[in-house]
Amino acid sequence: MNKNEIHILLVDDDRQNSLLLIRFLELEGYSVTYASDGAAAWEMYNRQHPDLILLDVNMPVMNGFELAQKIRETDSEVFLFFLTDRTEKADRLKGFHLKGNDYIPKPFYPEELIARIDERFENRKVDVQCRYMIGKTLFDSQNSTVTYDGITRNLSARQTDILVLLSRSAGILVTRDEILNQVWGDISYTNSMSLNVQITYLRHILAPDNTINIVSVKKKGYILQIP
């Protein structure tokens, strides 16, 4: 997918800074539309079906978390990036629980945002395989689900990305730095703590299939052990 084929919806009530960001994104070749609140964005999302939504959290009418929840009820494909000055751990975790693909604190450099966007769409382009048999569990990365013994469980976007990396290298160590760089974009302490949380959630979700084990290798990374 070329940049001029990628449609971005920017949702932020800070119009002045949004116009500057739109100009920067358009210079990079992206197609961008703008909404100043969550309710307007919801209408535009249903009309336009964007590929990526850049989403502020603190907005009138409908905030970013509320909008993300409505979108994720029916759409697991669109990329959601939270762009916000709400940087508390609870807020970041809520963003991830809502299956956000990235959580970028304000202020940020536009070049950093572009790099993260480029990486996401490059990963989507090369991610040909989307279904993996891990143990007795079917992992569908496209739909962010795992199915075992007829029961399907949903994964967050972060959990999906982590499990893809582990599944592709089943039985082989995947380093923490590799996971952090691929899934979060950097190896900061905060992201490292979030990785620990996501691994715990994955173990719980995969627990019904006792043939699967995510093994921690201290200070190095993780190994997905399957028969």
Per-residue pLDDT of the chain (227 residues; tens, 9 = 90+): 567 778 999 999 999 999 999 999 999 999 999 999 999 999 999 998 899 999 999 998 899 999 999 998 888 789 999 998 887 888 888 888 888 999 999 989 999 999 999 888 876 654 446 788 999 999 998 889 999 999 999 999 999 999 999 998 999 999 999 999 989 988 999 999 999 999 999 999 999 999 999 999 998 999 999 97
CATH 3.40.50.2300 boundaries in the chain: 3-126
CATH 1.10.10.10 boundaries in the chain: 131-225
Q: Report the SS3 class of residue 147.
A: strand
Query: Given 3.40.50.2300, 3.30.950.10, 2.40.10.120, 3.40.630.10, which CATH number is that of 3-126?
Result: 3.40.50.2300
Residue 152, Cβ density class (10 Å: 0-12 exposed, 13-18 middle, ≥19 buried): exposed
**CATH T-level fold of 131-225:** Arc Repressor Mutant, subunit A (1.10.10)
**Bridge partner list, 77:** none
pTM over 0.75: no
